[in-house]
Amino acid sequence: MKKSFAFTLFTALAICVSQVCQGQAKKTSNEANKLAREGAEAAKNQPPDWDKAVDLFRKASAMDHNYADELAAVYQGRGYASAKNQQYQDAIQDFTEALKIKSNDPRIYEQRAAAEMKVYDYDKALADYSELIKLKPNEVRYLNYRAYVYEVKEDVQNSMADTEKVLKIDPNNQEAKTRKQRLEQKLAERMPLTRPQSSPAPARTP
């Protein structure tokens, strides 16, 4: 009798706890949804209130991870707006936050690399273009971008390697063809002059 009562009591407690948890989860989900709606409205304003949108979606995502993609999108939106206003460091920071959430999004890498180029941070831009090429190995634009960065850094060999890859994919790519001519000229200028095997005989005086 006592065992039966204890079993019934534990079962009832378990059901109550489950119902409370479900109720709490529903309440949390509703609150997250409310925050996300307000964040979306802030992002749609003209002009968008990106700071408010980021704050609201950050809170919504903390409650419900399903809103993480939206948080990445508003980080990306604020980053793009900062880049347009030439606030490149702020843009880079926001694109970095977006990539923490969506680490395989080529568009965000491309936007961050473009901002890094604006502040002459060629090493970081090079790393981002390399990530892009891992994601899309045969994308001509990304190979051209990286070849350009290598050229700026005076890394002629790697720039030529990427340029050759572009021309293999698109033999008529004018940007790559022009760069190849420049690189060939640089390589020719770097080649050491070969000394003649024997010195010319002095001219005989009359």
- Radius of gyration of the chain, Cα coordinates, nearest whole angstrom: 30
CA pair distance 147, 36, nearest whole angstrom: 41
pLDDT digits (tens, 9 = 90+) for 92-129: 999 999 999 999 999 999 999 999 999 999 999 999 99
Strand (E) or helix (H) holding 53? helix 50-63
pTM for the structure as a whole: 0.76
Q: Which of 71, 59, 70 is nearest to 32 (CA)?
A: 59
47 upstream amide cis, omega within 30 of 0: yes
pLDDT for residue 59 is more than 50? yes
pLDDT digits (tens, 9 = 90+) for 172-205: 999 999 999 999 999 888 766 555 555 444 445 4
Ramachandran region of residue 204, left (φ > 0), alpha (ψ -120 to 50) or beta? Answer: beta
pLDDT at 204: 54
- Find how far residue 74's CA is from the centre of its chain: 14
Q: What is the DSSP string of 189-204?
A: HHSPPPPPSSPPPPPP
- Retrieve residue 151's tokens: 């050229």
pLDDT digits (tens, 9 = 90+) for 119-170: 999 999 999 999 999 999 999 999 999 999 999 999 999 999 999 999 999 9
DSSP designation for 136? S
